[in-house]
Structure 1
C-alpha cells in the first residue's frame, strides 16, 4: 500500500514549550513526525518541551524553528488552516476528514497550520492557506489546548491511513478461536454431566434443551483456552458431586 506523504504540522507563534512538547507527543502517536514552529515566543530549543514530549523527539519527531509563518510554509504546496472561528474568506471549509482528503489529493508536500495558545491563527496566516479545517466543537465552548487541537487531526490522519487500534481485529491476547471439534467436545462433556445430574427433564425435551445450550455457547465465540478452562470446571464439579455423594452414603 502506497501511503501519501504525511503532512507537516506547523505551529504559528506558539508560546509555551510545554505545548510544543505535548504536540510532538500527540503527533507521534499517529505517525506524524515533521513539526515546524514559527517564531516561538520562548525560543527553540526549549527545555520545557522535553518532559511533555515523553520521548517523542528521540523517537522520531523532528522540530525545525523558523522566524515567521511565511518562512515555515515557503516550500509547501498546499496548506490547511485549523481554526474554530468563522472567517470572511472565500476558502473551502471542512472537518478533519475532509481536510485529509484535500491533503492526500495533492502531489506536492502539504501542511496543517495551527495558531498559538492565546489568539489562534491571524487572518494573515489563514490568507496563506488553501482551505480551512474546523472541528464540531461545542459552539458555547470552543477552547482546545494546542496539543488537543493537533491530536484531533492526527487521530483522523492515522485512521485514514488504515492504522489499527492496538486491540482492533485482535483477541487482546486471550488466544485463538476454538475449533468446532473443541466446541463439540465441550458440549458433549457438559451434556454428559448434566444428564448424570438429572438436568434433562422431561426426556422428550432433551434435544431442544441441548440445542438451546449449544446455541448460547456458540454465541459466546469461545477461544481454545476458554474451552479448556470450562472443561476443567465441569470436571471439578463432577468430582465434587461424586465426593459429596460418597460422603452422604457414609
Structure 2
C-alpha cells in the first residue's frame, strides 16, 4: 500500500459531522483530516463528543481557507459524489478508488462535499477520479461521516487490518480432539440410558448415530466439550436429588 490518503472535507457545515468523520477515519487507520472553509470555524466544540476521542487518539486536523489550498500539495485527488457530472474522469467504487490510490507515487487525497450540496462541479473538476457507491437510485443520501466510513473501511481492509479478533480463530480454544468427543458421547449416552431415553431398545444404535452426527457437525472446541459435560453432570446430579426427595 502507498502512503495513507488524507481525507478532505470541502466546506463542511456541522461540527458534529467533523467529529464523527474523525471517529470513522481512525477506526480504519486514517489519521490526516483536512477541513476546507468550515462554515462554523475550527476548533468546533460540537465535534468533540461525536469524535469519541479520535482527535486525542491520533487524528490531526488542518484547516484551509479554500478547497484549492487544502489539496495544493497533493499529486492525486479522488472526488466522492453520488451525482453524475458529465466529466471525462474515471468513475469507480470504494475498492476501485483504493486500487487507484495504491498505484500513485505521490500524496493522495479523497475529498467529500458538504452536508447540503456535496461537492460542486468546480471541486470535482480539481480531481483525477470520481468515487461513487452503489446506493439506492431513489435515495442517495449518506451522512457525511457515513460516506467517509465506506471508503475508510475499504482502505483498512485492503491494508490488511483484521480488527481485534486478529484472525478467525482468535479467542477460541482449540478444536476438540476425537478422544474428547468420544468421552463426551459416552458420558451423554450413559446418562440418556439411565433416564430411559433410548426406547425402543432396538432403535438405540440409530438414535446414537443421529446424536453423534449432530455433535460432529458442530465442530466443538475443547472448552465447549468441558462445558457440555459439566452440564450433563449437573443434570444427572439434579435428577438424583429429585429422586431422593420423592422417596422421602
Q: TM-score, normalised by structure 1?
A: 0.89
Q: 2:159 aligns with which of 158, 161, 172?
A: 161
What is the aligned counterpart of 2:125 among 124, 127, 136?
127
* Residue 72 (structure 1) aligns with: 70
Residue range with higher mean Cα deviation, 111-120 or 191-200: 191-200
**How far, CA to CA, are the matches of 2:183 and 2:194 in structure 1?**
17
| 1:140 paired to 2:143 | no
Task: Find the partner of 2:223 among 222, 225, 229.
Answer: 225
2:236 corresponds in structure 1 to: 238
Match of 2:30 in 1: 32
Quote the residue 2:104 is aligned against: 106
Deviation at 1:31, TM superposition (A): 0.9
d(CA) in 2 for partners of 1:53 and 1:240?
52
The residue that corresponds to 1:47 in the other structure is: 45
Gaps of 5+ in 1: none
Structure 1: distance between partners of 2:143 and 2:228: 49
Match of 1:116 among 114, 117, 120: 114
CA distance in 2, matches of 1:142, 1:245: 66
How far is the alpha carbon of 1:48 from its aligned partner? 2.1
What is the distance in 2 between the residues matched to 1:243 and 1:66?
76
Q: RMSD of the TM alignment (CA)?
A: 2.2
Q: CA deviation at 1:88?
A: 1.4
Shift of 1:166: 4.1
Cα distance, 1:194 vs structure 2: 2.7
Q: Structure 1 pair 243/45, CA: closer, same or farther in 2 (3 Å)?
A: closer
| Equivalent of 1:85 in 63, 72, 83 | 83
Aligned residue-pair number? 248
Change (3 A) 1:185 1:15: same
TM value normalised by structure 2 = 0.90
Secondary structure, counterpart of 2:155 in structure 1: helix
Residues 20 and 236 of structure 1: is their aligned pair in 2 closer, same or farther, counting only changes over 3 Å? closer
Match of residue 20 from structure 1? 18
Instruction: Tell me the residue number matched to 1:9.
Output: 7
The verdict on how the C-alpha distance between 1:47 and 1:186 changes in structure 2, with shifts beyond 3 A counting, is same
Q: CA, structure 1 residues 242+132, in 2 after alignment: closer, same or farther (shift >3 Å)?
A: same
